[in-house]
Structure 1
Amino acid sequence: MAAVQPHNPTGGQWSTGFCDCIDDLENSCFTLWCPCVTFGHIAEILDQGYTTCQRSGIVYALLCTLTLTRLQFLHSCGYRAKLRRLYGLPEAPCEDSLVHFFCEPCALCQIAGELRNRGYDLEKGWEENKKRLKPPAKLPPSVESGMSRD
């Protein structure tokens, strides 16, 4: 069976709204009560299997419980930025850090929904998805300007 390229259903726009978690009650309730599991699924897919769902979920849970200051939002907003870079999505409805700080469950639901709409089955993990889908091309490294030859 030939690999299928994850599709880009919206041409650089989010396919899920920030408050669309209301439409997916199963995902939103699960994310509200177990955000570390949802985050683990997201991280495994976006890291292309480099980190496992379990490892990422444990790190997220530790950040939630040990810091008591909600520092997990800093960790999770990095994955939102990674998803946006991969698919050319806008930083909306506001900056990633603000989205995750003020409404972490909605932000995680939106990321999970976006990955599902692009063909990923989060519960199957990276290896199973890799067999079914061809991942998006990695971005080339950014080149900083400022140095030139004279």
Structure 2
Amino acid sequence: MSADVQTTQPRAYTMTSASKQWSSGICDCCQDIALCCYACWCFPCFACQTAKEAGECLCLPLLDAFGLIPPMATALRASIRQRYGIEGSVCSDCVYASFCGPCTWCQISREIKTRQNPVVFVSAAA
């Protein structure tokens, strides 16, 4: 009786997004419906939670209300770009934060979620 005995275990490897682009576009809010609804119904709470998830002070997004250009949304978007090696400029961050504020916060939140929860594949081949 001949039985095939597997002598090695499957190896797990992590597939992360090493792309130099955002994992989702600025208008892809509906990619994560729960995030979109949360941002729509309680935007200040959503922005504060997103800042906290990014490792910043919980109350920083509240400073965006004081000024023509939202400083915290611009700074946080630039910080996330730098952290994950995403191409772009502070000028584009400023434009997105100024004219698409809620969409910018949703994109930041999706990016953090995507980059912090990598996909793990298990390979059966040795």
Q: TM-score, normalised by structure 2?
A: 0.67
The answer on whether the counterparts of 1:22 and 1:28 sit within 8 Å (CA) in structure 2 is yes
Question: What is the rounded CA distance, in whole Å, between the counterparts of 1:27 and 1:91 in structure 2?
Answer: 24
Deviation string 1:10-39 (CA, Å, 9 cap, x unpaired) is 422211111110232221122123222222
Q: How does 1:1-150 map to 2 (within 5 A)?
A: 8-47=16-55, 51=57, 53=58, 56=59, 59-61=60-62, 63-64=64-65, 67=66, 71=69, 73-91=70-88, 95-119=92-116
The answer on whether the counterparts of 1:77 and 1:97 sit within 8 Å (CA) in structure 2 is yes
Q: Gapped runs of 5+ residues in structure 2?
A: 1-13, 118-126
Question: What is the rounded CA distance, in whole Å, between the counterparts of 2:94 and 2:54 in structure 1?
Answer: 18
1:109 to 1:63, Cα distance in 2 relative to 1, 3 A: closer
Higher RCO structure, 1 or 2 (CA under 8 Å, sep 6+): 2
May I ask how many residue pairs the two structures share in their alignment?
103
Deviation string 1:34-90 (CA, Å, 9 cap, x unpaired) is 22222222222323xx62x3xx2xx433643xx4x555x222110000000111112
Question: What is the rounded CA distance, in whole Å, between the counterparts of 1:8 and 1:35 in structure 2?
Answer: 29
Question: What is the rounded CA distance, in whole Å, between the counterparts of 1:63 and 1:83 in structure 2?
Answer: 17
Question: What is the rounded CA distance, in whole Å, between the counterparts of 1:119 and 1:7 in structure 2?
Answer: 12
Paired-residue identity, %: 28
